[in-house]
């Protein structure tokens, strides 16, 4: 291949157990497609090795190091079809192949701050389920501890997350959040939600 640019795009089908040797004078080999399992390759008289689709072999140094013999060895247990390229210059493929339909959604963010939530000693949903939620900031602006969690949140049993007066927490969850105070107590929960719309 010396002296001018040469690019060969080749396709070979190998039965199980078949070896395909061929002579060449290339410096670059790329496996473009492979219809089956990973197969083995032998370069010149070197050891066999497994090669995967998309891998390239680039030879460096003087031209006497060129590939002179390449063997594809199919020991996968089934027939395979290989598409590959040989060249004396490096050829790259930057194309993007997309199968089926590609849905592109342009979205932005929005911040919502509903009215303060009155927390009692019964578990109530303070933050409803919302799959667009990125994070929720919960702040206890009342005088008593608020416990946060699922429907089983229970201050007496220490079940849930205790949010003390004047403190806040950021939850990155799309699930619903229950709030509850201890027996006979109440408090106020301020909520700010960051959503993706």
Say if residue 73 is in the same domain as residue 116: no
Q: Residue 74 pLDDT > 50, yes or no?
A: yes
Q: Report helix, strand or coil for 142.
A: coil
Is residue 99 one of the residues assigned to a domain?
no
Query: Average pLDDT of 99-112?
Result: 74
Task: Write down the residue that tokens 């929005």 correspond to.
Answer: 110
Distance CA 6, CA 1 (A): 6
Residue 69 is part of a domain; what is its CATH number? 2.60.120.10
C-alpha to C-alpha distances, 27 to 41, 53, 63, nearest whole angstrom: 15, 18, 8
Say if residue 121 is in the same domain as residue 82: no
Average pLDDT of the chain is: 87
Say if residue 118 is in the same domain as residue 192: yes
Question: For residue 2, what pLDDT band results from cuts at 50, 70 and 90?
Answer: very low
Q: What is the pLDDT of residue 94?
A: 67
Question: For residue 5, what pLDDT band results from cuts at 50, 70 and 90?
Answer: low
Judged by average pLDDT, the poorest of 14-23, 78-87, 90-99, 141-150 is 90-99
Is residue 96 one of the residues assigned to a domain?
no
Residues 6 or more apart whose Cβ sits within 8 Å of residue 36:
74, 76, 78, 79, 80, 81
Say if residue 158 is in the same domain as residue 81: no
Number of domains in the chain: 2
Is residue 92 one of the residues assigned to a domain?
no
Token pair, residue 172, equals 């990155």
Distance CA 151, CA 160 (A): 10
Question: Among the three residues 52, 87, 122, which one is the final residue of a domain in this structure?
Answer: 87
Say if residue 116 is in the same domain as residue 192: yes
Is residue 100 one of the residues assigned to a domain?
no
Q: Residue 163 sits in which domain range?
A: 109-196
Residue 138 is part of a domain; what is its CATH number? 2.60.120.770
Task: Write down the residue that tokens 């199980």 correspond to.
Answer: 16
Convert 10-45 to b/e letters by CB count within 10 Å (16 or more is b).
eeeebeeeeeeeeebebbbbbbeebebeebbbbbee
* Tens-place pLDDT, residues 32-56: 888 888 899 998 888 889 988 878 8
Is residue 102 one of the residues assigned to a domain?
no
Say if residue 66 is in the same domain as residue 129: no
Say if residue 81 is in the same domain as residue 135: no
Q: Is the full-model pTM beyond 0.75? A: no
Cβ proximity of 7 and 27 under 8 Å:
no
Q: Which residue has the higher pLDDT, 9 or 139?
A: 139
Residues 6 or more apart whose Cβ sits within 8 Å of residue 61:
none
Is residue 133 one of the residues assigned to a domain?
yes
Say if residue 41 is in the same domain as residue 117: no
């Amino acid at each position: 291949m010396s002296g001018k640019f040469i690019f060969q795009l080749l396709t070979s089908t190998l039965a199980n157990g078949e070896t395909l040797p061929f002579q060449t004078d290339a410096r670059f080999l790329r496996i473009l497609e492979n219809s089956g399992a990973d197969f083995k390759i032998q370069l010149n008289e070197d050891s066999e090795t497994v090669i995967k689709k998309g891998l390239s072999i680039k030879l460096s140094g003087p031209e006497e190091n060129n590939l002179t013999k390449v063997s594809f060895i199919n020991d996968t247990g089934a027939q395979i079809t290989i598409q590959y390229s040989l060249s004396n210059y490096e050829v790259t493929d930057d194309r993007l192949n997309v199968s089926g339909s590609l849905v592109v959604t342009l979205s932005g963010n929005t911040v919502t701050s509903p009215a303060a939530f009155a927390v009692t000693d019964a578990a109530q949903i303070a933050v409803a389920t919302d799959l667009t939620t990125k994070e929720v900031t919960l702040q206890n602006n009342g005088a008593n501890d608020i416990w946060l969690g699922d429907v089983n949140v229970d201050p007496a049993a220490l079940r849930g997350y205790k949010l003390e007066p004047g403190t806040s927490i950021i939850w990155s969850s799309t699930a619903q959040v229950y709030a509850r105070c201890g027996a006979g107590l109440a408090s106020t929960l301020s909520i700010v939600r960051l959503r993706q719309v």
